[in-house]
Structure formats: C-alpha cells, structure tokens
Amino acid sequence: MREIILDTETTGLDPATGDRIVEIGAVELLNHLPTGRTFHVYINPERNMPAEAEAVHGLSSAFLADKPVFAKIADDFLEFIADSVLIIHNASFDMAFINAELAFEKRSAIPAERIVDTLHLARQKHPGASNSLDALCRRYGIDNSKRTKHGALLDSELLAEVYLELIGGRQTALNLVTSAGRPAARSEIATSRVGQRPLPLPGRLTLQEKEAHALFVQGLGENALWLKAGL
C-alpha cells in the first residue's frame, strides 16, 4: 500500500481571496514504511508575500522570485502522488489550495475519498487535547527541535512519524524491517511468549479501602453477585 504524507505552505489562509501555494513537501510510505523518496519544491506565487505569512514559514517574495510557477511543477507533482492516498494534517486547508491550483490549470480536482486527515485521527484519539503537529510530536516523543519555522518537507517528515503513532503502526513497522532495512520474511519476525509471573504482584489497596469495600458489599444484600463470586 502506497501513501503520501503531504504538506504545503501558502501566502495566506484562503485561495478564494487570491492566496497561493509557495511550497509543497511530500514523503512516500510503502506499507507504512518511509522509502526515502520525497518530493519538494518552492513555487513562485506570482504575488507579494504578506508579512504575516512570511513570519510563519520564512519564505520571502525575493526568495521565491526565481522559483517555478505551479504550472511548471504540476506534472511532476501529480506524477509523484499518482493515485496514492494522501495523508495530511488539517487536510481541508491544504486540499483547498491544491485543488484551486489544479483548477487554475484546468486539471481535475483530487477527490476527498483519497484523503486521510491526521487532525481528525488525532482528535478521535486525544479528544479535548491540543492536536497541533508540535503538540503531537511532544506527546509521542518525536524530535521537532529543527522546526523553528513551518517548512513543507520537514513537516511532512514529522507527520509521517506522527501518523504511524496515530494508527498504532510504529511497532508493526519496526517488526517488519530487518537491520538491513529490507522487509522481513515471515520466519524472521520475532515472536514472544507470555509466561506466568514467578511471584504475584503486591496488592495496592490500603486497609481502609478494603474495609470500605467490605461494607459496600454487605450493603448489597445476600443475593449480591459480589458475594457469590467471593469478591
């Protein structure tokens, strides 16, 4: 299964008001394992860079002036992503921009069915918590110290690690790769047996807690299931 972790940087928040993409970064996964293949390009947005946006990603109008416009990189971008599933954090934002750029070139939009939004996954797994990319990196112990500003390729690389944590796939991925970096044969995958403890774990209930529980059970009556089970 091929998946593409994707991120963009832009001139602002809304393509409908003239904002454009200025950077695309993408990382290839095969069966949840990074292959080392990436796609990265800076894009001339053909407009000025607002100071607020430059403060976020550090990309100035002067830096982007000699970079290709989206039309020049569209074929390479579409060839890289092909028909793979796209893994994006806050996908509605990035896809609005990507599909706007494709529409400018009279190309078909990428359908929503191909998108997995890691922000949605994170909110399901950690409801009520902060689920920004930085917060998820901290939660999962992923080193994001190089992320002094937003950058599409670095953010995609970080998101690849976060994504594996969100789907519970990091341990699976590690078990399916040998030290040589190739997929392991079934016979090479280590297994472990769960044995009985030589000594039982010590109890954690205090005397007061045990007495309170006994009083509670007595109050349930002689037909209480707790008494029949001997608890």
Q: For residue range 101-116, list pLDDT tens digits in order.
A: 999 999 999 999 999 9
Angstrom distance (rounded) from CA 123 to CA 46? 36
Q: Do residues 20 and 61 touch, judged by C-beta distance below 8 A?
A: no
Angstrom distance (rounded) from CA 124 to CA 120? 6
Q: Which of 6-15, 151-160, 208-217 has the lowest mean pLDDT?
A: 208-217
pLDDT (tens digit per residue) in 132-154:
999 999 999 999 887 767 889 99
150 is catalytic: yes
- Position 165 scores a pLDDT of 95
In the chain, what percentage of residues exceed pLDDT 70?
79
Options 3.30.110.40, 3.40.50.12780, 3.30.420.10, 3.90.550.10; CATH for 2-175 is: 3.30.420.10
Helices (H), 85-193: 91-104, 118-125, 133-140, 152-166, 170-175
Catalytic residue among 40, 120, 150, 213: 150
User: Which has more confidence, 207 or 57?
Assistant: 57
pLDDT (tens digit per residue) in 26-61:
999 999 999 999 999 999 999 999 999 999 999 999
Angle (nearest 5°) at CA 73 between 68 and 78 = 165
User: Which has more confidence, 153 or 224?
Assistant: 153
Global confidence as pTM: 0.72
Angle between helices 91-104 and 70-81 (to 10 degrees): 120
DSSP string, 92-117: HHHHHHHHHHHHHTT-PPPPGGGEEE
Q: In the chain, where are the structural domains located?
A: 2-175, 204-231
Q: Is the confidence at residue 202, as pLDDT, over 70?
A: no
Angstrom distance (rounded) from CA 157 to CA 219? 58
Radius of gyration of the chain (CA): 26
Q: Which of 155-159, 215-219, 224-228 has the lowest mean pLDDT?
A: 224-228
Averaged pLDDT for residues 119-134: 96
In the chain, what percentage of residues exceed pLDDT 90?
68
Structure tokens at 38: 């990436």
